[in-house]
Amino acid sequence: MTAVLTGQVAVVTGSASGIGLASVEALLAAGAQVVLVDRDAKALAAQCERLGSAAQPLVLDLLDPAACASLVPRALALAGGRIDIFHANAGTYVGGDLVDADTAAIDRMLNLNINVVMKNVHDVLPHMIERGRGDIIVTSSLAAHYPTPWEPVYAASKWAIDCFVQVTRRQVFKHGIRVGAISPGPVATGLLADWPAQKLADARAAGSLIEPAEVAEVILFMLTRPRHMTIRDVVMLPTNFDL
């Protein structure tokens, strides 16, 4: 891969595993310096040691309001005072019948999937507006576009954040900032741990899962379009999804 992002600084939340980690790896391969944000200090340290000096760890619990508010200034301090790319990826999952859901888990998921994303984007925008340039990518989901019957709470969070992405994009494009959402179908990450075992086994057998690296390839495509072009929303799903 050519180093098309050389000199750029990216910040990725939820980056110790899954889509976030795959995004980090793709960004590093394209020449960017990356600040990895995650609450799992041990996993973050291990990944940054493996990835090399261009990967900087930032241990944060985004559900803690004070810690969440410190993300942008701390990332700027680690990255030499600039953020070119912000990938709001951190999220969690609640699936199954609504009547069976734990209400504390619902609160936590809505806070992380919606409130934290909005606050992170809010906090990084002044820096990008001042510089007249920036890219914001938000990890959404196919569930934002399709009323998935087994995940009413999760789907609702992604519908909300997809609306937020599209409205924010229209507010900030005049400042040279592009905002887009990546909306994958089922991805082989730890978030699928809540799936029924048989459903997960059937999906794997049918080839109905996407790999995190495949999502990262599309994120890199979005980021490397000419500046006059915004890829505002990519929906990607396994070809066999509907089996």
Listing DSSP states for 98-165 in one string gives GGG--HHHHHHHHIIIIIIHHHHHHHHHHHHHHHT-EEEEEE--GGGTS--TT-HHHHHHHHHHHHHH
| pLDDT number for residue 202 | 78
- Give the residues across from 234 on adjacent strands: 182
CATH number at residue 29: 3.40.50.720
Do 63 and 111 meet the contact criterion of CB atoms below 8 Å apart? yes
| 197 located within any domain | no
Domain membership of residue 108 (yes or no) is: yes
- Compute the distance between CA of residue 182 and CA of residue 106 in angstroms, rounded to an integer: 23
Residue 112 is predicted with a pLDDT of: 98
Whether 206 maps to a domain, the answer reads: no
Q: Residue 204 domain-assigned? A: no
* Domain membership flag for residue 198: no
Nearest C-alpha neighbor of 131 from the set 68, 166, 81, 71: 81
Q: What angle do CA 50, 181, 47 make, to 5 degrees?
A: 10
Active site residue ranges: 154
| DSSP label at residue 89 | -
Q: Residue written as tokens 């394209």?
A: 30
pLDDT tens string for the chain (243 positions)? 578 999 999 999 999 999 999 999 999 999 999 999 999 999 999 999 999 999 999 999 999 999 999 999 999 999 999 999 999 999 999 888 999 999 999 999 999 999 999 999 999 999 999 999 999 999 999 999 988 888 899 999 999 999 999 999 999 999 999 999 999 988 877 766 666 778 777 777 777 888 899 999 999 999 999 999 999 999 998 888 766
Structure token digits, residue 224: 């490397």
* Number of Cβ atoms within 10 Å of the Cβ of 223: 24
Q: What is the pLDDT of residue 18?
A: 94
Structure tokens at 105: 């888990």
Note the pLDDT of residue 192: 67
Q: Is residue 111 in a domain? A: yes
Q: In sequence order, what E strands does 29-158 have?
A: 33-38, 55-59, 85-88, 134-139
Domain range enclosing 34: 9-185+211-236
pLDDT value at residue 195:
67
What's at 120, amino acid-wise? N
Total count of domains within the chain: 1
Residue 242 located in a structural domain = no
- Asked if residue 167 is part of any domain, the answer here is yes
Report whether 14 contacts 90 (CB < 8 A).
yes
